[in-house]
Amino acid sequence: MKDTQEKTQNHGLTNSSLGTGGQSVIVGIGEILWDVFPNGKVLGGAPANFAYHVSQFGFEGYAVSAIGNDDLGHEIIENLSKKELKYQIETTPFETGTVQVTLDEKGIPQYEICENVAWDNIPFTPEMEALARKTETVCFGSLAQRSSVSRANINRFLDCVPETALKIFDINLRQHFYTLELIEHALDRCNILKINDDEILIVGQLFGWESKSELEICNQLLHNCALEIVVLTKGTQGSYVVTQNETSFKPTPLVEVADTVGAGDSFTAAFVSALLRSQRISDAHQLAVDVSAFVCTQHGAMPKLPEILLSRVKKPA
């Protein structure tokens, strides 16, 4: 990327030393924010949700983002500490991000995302570079790349990650905050793509593949972009995991939905956690489905997962 990083006055906040405990370092980098519902607010942002859930499975999960020097930013740090989630969060002169969330009759969220906030201005620091060089797996999306500053610095982080690292592009097409160029560049940087049924139709249109089915688009992306895995989630209609050698389909369990906020992030986290513990694609897929279904029964994106789910990923000795 050739974007010029804007200068900001900031200081980094971190709550741990790097690489402690011999665990695999897994990073979610991008937006961190408050999802504001009619009845209150909950901590959110796909990268932080992802990092929180992989940490529940015994990995050294980190949320990497930026906040403002304001009450909402201070509350984010307090909440991450309470959840015992590690982080490298930069404080910037911009306001902490918020999203106004409304739910339809099925609990499906609609988002109104504030612009020019702290996570649009994530700086790149020596501490972030040090973390990147220890990262085994990184998950990034499209939403946090809507601004040139964060886009450039997310890519700088990816440049510093070891070549052997797993790079997950959890595409997140919200409002008008994406372009074909952004998506193509991100696809070149990842080896796993996570996408939902709404997003795959948009991507199909952007690439001129309107005549192709969802699975045909998955396979086209798999081959054109040299991906190892494409994960397609379809809400109540189930989900697919597509690789060069197999296609796994799992139905979605019927549960009483509280809301679906963060369900996709928990799916990605559970799937990757199982893969990193050498589970088969089908088993990792089933765990992801079950974890996501549980999250749908809870309010907010970061519920504590029950031990019956956590025990399905073996923790390192």
Cα separation of the two ends of the chain: 40
Token pair 């549960």 in the structure block, residue: 255
Sequence-distant (6+) residues with CB within 8 A of 189 are 140, 155, 158, 167, 169
Token pair 């679906």 in the structure block, residue: 260
Task: Record the tokens describing residue 142, joined without a space.
Answer: 């499209």
Assigned domain for 304 exists = yes
Assigned domain for 1 exists = no
CA distance 262 to 298: 10
Task: Record the tokens describing residue 201, joined without a space.
Answer: 């139709």
Token pair 């970061």 in the structure block, residue: 302
Task: Record the tokens describing residue 298, joined without a space.
Answer: 């809870």
Give the mean model confidence (pLDDT) for residues 257-262: 86
Give the mean model confidence (pLDDT) for residues 171-175: 85
CA distance 167 to 139: 6
Assigned domain for 5 exists = no
- Residue 106: exposure state from Cβ atoms within 10 A (0-12, 13-18, ≥19): exposed
What residue ranges in 114-179 does DSSP mark as E strands? 135-140, 166-170
Assigned domain for 2 exists = no
- pLDDT given at position 61: 97
Give the mean model confidence (pLDDT) for residues 89-102: 92
Torsion of CA 266, 267, 271, 273, to 10 degrees: 0
- pLDDT given at position 317: 55
β-strand 135-140 against 166-170: which pairing, if any?
parallel
pTM as predicted: 0.89
State yes or no: pLDDT of 15 exceeds 70. no
Q: Which domain holds residue 276?
A: 11-310
CA distance 166 to 138: 6
pLDDT band at 267 (very low <50, low <70, confident <90, very high): very high
CA distance 243 to 117: 37
Helices (H) and strands (E) in the chain, counts: 10, 14
Assigned domain for 3 exists = no
CATH classification at residue 130: 3.40.1190.20
Sign (positive/negative) of CA torsion 222, 169, 215, 180?
A: negative
Q: Which of 21-30, 104-113, 136-145, 210-219 has the lowest mean pLDDT?
A: 104-113
- pLDDT given at position 18: 35
- pLDDT given at position 22: 44
The predicted-structure confidence for 188-234, as pLDDT tens digits, reads as follows: 999 999 999 999 999 999 999 999 999 999 999 999 999 999 999 99
CA distance 277 to 262: 23
Query: How many residues are given for the chain?
Result: 317
- pLDDT given at position 233: 97
- Residue 150 DSSP class: H
How many separate domains does the chain show?
1
Q: Which of 54-58, 119-123, 259-263, 308-312 has the lowest mean pLDDT?
A: 259-263
Assigned domain for 294 exists = yes
Assigned domain for 315 exists = no
Assigned domain for 223 exists = yes
Rounded to 5 degrees, φ, ψ at 46 are -55, -45
- Chain CA centroid to CA 54, Å: 11
HSE (CB half, 13 Å, CA atoms) of 314? 8
What residue ranges in 48-189 does DSSP mark as E strands? 60-68, 86-92, 97-103, 109-113, 135-140, 166-170
Number of other CB atoms surrounding residue 276 within 10 Å: 19
pLDDT band at 85 (very low <50, low <70, confident <90, very high): very high
